[in-house]
């Protein structure tokens, strides 16, 4: 069995006809014979993203992939889409989590060293957040970390009904008349609690009324 290259791999027993007179395979012009070792090496390199070229010696060899040429139209389109998504996020009221949650998959992933304006939407570790106040993001102060609820507020699309309660988290703005879950129990907010740090069930906090277990 012999191996060949010509814009792809060929094997004599599979790809070529036999000359009835000589009993040998008919190899058309332009096909370069390579060893089995070279064939395996080229296959392995191709699988890792390299390209195969014909070297100065006429033998195929591996080369790095060519850099992607810039596409100004595609880049402009991408930038325009990002600007439109950001504008849409800024137009959604702070309290409209349902609309923000719908737009979130189109929004960017949170990155350190980036300036975010209030009302922007960012994604971090699979969860969307609303930027509460303008911030220059720092690597050790990502959404969801301790003390950052005043900057990044998790987006909860639940309407806060008895059937679809919101999940309580420290620092959230609690709204009177909405339902929240905490520690496996259901609570009704009896008053507005801005930036609430009193978890449902806290002794002496009348603003929470336990309704029923959620399970």
Cα separation, 167 vs 158, in Å, equals: 8
What was the pLDDT predicted at 69?
Answer: 83
What was the pLDDT predicted at 177?
Answer: 96
Q: Where are the domains of the chain?
A: 3-63, 72-213
Report yes or no: 59 and 34 within 8 Å, Cβ to Cβ.
yes
The CA–CA distances, whole Å, from 74 to 54, 70, 82, 84, 86 equal 32, 9, 12, 15, 18
CATH number belonging to the domain at 72-213, selected among 1.10.1740.10, 2.10.10.90, 1.10.357.10, 3.60.110.10: 2.10.10.90
What was the pLDDT predicted at 213?
Answer: 59
What was the pLDDT predicted at 134?
Answer: 96
- Going from the first residue of the chain to its last (215 residues), give the mean pLDDT of each consecutive group of 10, the final group possibly shorter: 90 91 92 92 91 89 87 89 94 91 95 96 93 95 87 90 89 89 94 89 94 65
Cα separation, 41 vs 31, in Å, equals: 18
- Nearest CA to 17 among 28, 30, 9? 28
* Alpha-carbon torsion, ordered 96, 101, 107, 109, to 10 deg: 120
């Amino acid at each position: 069995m012999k191996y060949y290259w010509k814009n792809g791999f060929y094997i004599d027993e599979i790809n070529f006809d036999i000359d009835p007179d000589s009993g040998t395979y008919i190899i058309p012009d332009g096909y370069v014979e390579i060893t089995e070792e070279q064939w395996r090496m080229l296959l392995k390199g191709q699988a890792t993203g390299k390209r195969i070229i014909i070297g100065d010696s006429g033998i195929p060899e591996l080369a790095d992939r060519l850099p992607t040429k810039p596409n100004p139209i595609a880049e402009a389109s991408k930038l325009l889409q990002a600007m439109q998504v950001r504008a849409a996020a800024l137009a959604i009221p702070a309290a409209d989590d349902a609309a923000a949650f719908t737009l979130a998959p189109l929004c960017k992933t949170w990155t350190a060293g980036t300036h975010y304006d209030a009302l922007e939407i960012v994604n971090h570790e699979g969860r969307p957040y609303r930027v509460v106040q303008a911030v220059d993001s720092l690597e050790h102060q990502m959404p969801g970390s301790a003390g950052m609820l005043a900057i990044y507020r998790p987006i909860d699309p639940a309407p806060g009904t008895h059937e679809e309660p919101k999940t309580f988290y420290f620092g959230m703005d609690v709204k009177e008349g909405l339902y929240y879950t905490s520690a496996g129990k259901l609570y009704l907010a009896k008053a507005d609690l801005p930036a609430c740090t009193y978890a449902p069930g806290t002794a002496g906090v009348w603003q929470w009324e336990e309704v029923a277990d959620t399970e």
